[in-house]
A = this chain, B = another copy of it.
């Protein structure tokens, strides 16, 4: 049985504005002050993390964090240090929001790190400690770190007929099909209050794992010919990039089609975009795209397109990963079970760029358009 829910909930209709988030942070501090004034042991409540509290929500089609909570009390020797750290991060995030500042999670770590006067105790011993506290805080006030004005490193590129406006930067308006072949460098934070999607003349979003395949599709004018927007993730998608894909999906109702290497690593990139990740299960509603579809590469492509000579042997780590994924609830459907079992038994992988074996253009003139037209997708 889950413990009685102790986190003070805000009105669920409350907008996620910087002002409201700051108010929630202040609420935490005020509760602590009140506890102290009353002579009570101050406490901080957050959600339990880890796989045991992660559930796959069949209806939503995304990973969600369960209801189990953790309470930390100041007068517990095992909790006191983390309690102190939580208060430091809460106050600093409140400062950022009030001053319209943002910081990377490495910066807040460095900003808060110091030796407590007259002791040998450091506030933080490493960034893992401050990172953990940031996650606690996100869960405690039911938001994502981007709305606490915190961010991880940026990665990823955007190209196509989409106009963005940066309200925090002279209201710059720019169309991402008009920046030459480079494209726009996706920011680490991409909140609607700051970056507005002004217009988007595209029929779908194509998410691409490798930067080199992105450059191929730009050169082939794929976005123009197929009326789509290209997003390259450069491997596992960074949070800013996931947030952008989510917003294109939810605000603009654009279908999302994902194109990765044909191996468990690529397939997992897809599943994180679609269902969310276990580590960030609480944030799926901000990040996931449960309607996303997978266009390739599949292991069946090897036979269909005669690519046997350009496959690669799967590494042991990949095979182990495939075996784990077979058991994940969100891979419980026939096509993915078949694909993952094929990976385990045949032990080969196929890269996106291996399609160049047909010709450089092949991916843009045949492979993608035909598969997308026929809706030859994995779910």
Check A186 against B178 for contact (C-beta < 8 Å).
Answer: no
8 Å CB contact of A310 from B113, B216, B353: B113
**Which one of A79-87, A330-338, A355-363 contacts B?**
A355-363
- Whether A374 sits at the interface, judged by CB under 8 Å, is no
A211 surroundings in chain B (CB, below 8 A): 153-155, 188
Stretch at the interface among A21-29, A165-173, A280-288, A339-347: A165-173
Contact with B along A180-191 (1 / 0, CB 8 A): 111111111000
Q: Which of A32-40, A45-53, A103-111, A266-274 lies at the interface?
A: A103-111
Contact: A360 with B101, CB < 8 Å? yes
A356 touches B164 (CB 8 A): no
Any chain B CB within 8 A of the CB of A102?
yes
| A107 in contact with B180 (CB, 8 Å) | no
Please indicate the chain B residues that have their CB under 8 angstroms from the CB of A182 in the complex: 154, 166, 184-187
Measured between alpha carbons, how far is A187 from B101 in the docked complex, in Å? 30
Q: Counting chain B CB atoms within 10 Å of each CB, which of A170, A185, A310 scores highest? A: A185
Q: How far is the CA of A107 from the CA of B220 in the complex (A)?
A: 14
Asked whether any CB of chain B lies closer than 8 Å to the CB of A174, the reply is yes
Question: Which of B113, B114, B180, B309 sits near A164, CB closer than 8 Å?
Answer: B180
A30 to chain B, nearest CB (A): 25
Within 8 A of B (CB), among A346-373: 351, 353-357, 359-360
A298 within 8 A of B: no
Q: Which of A165, A216, A360 has the most CB of B within 10 A?
A: A360
Residue A91 is within 8 A (CB to CB) of chain B in the complex: no
Q: Which residues of B contact A183 (CB under 8 A)?
A: 184-185
30 A-B Cβ contacts within 8 A?
A: A101-B219, A103-B360, A104-B212, A106-B356, A107-B212, A107-B353, A110-B351, A110-B353, A110-B356, A110-B357, A111-B356, A113-B310, A114-B309, A154-B215, A155-B211, A165-B180, A166-B180, A169-B181, A170-B178, A172-B178, A174-B174, A180-B184, A180-B187, A182-B187, A183-B184, A184-B184, A184-B185, A188-B211, A188-B212, A188-B215
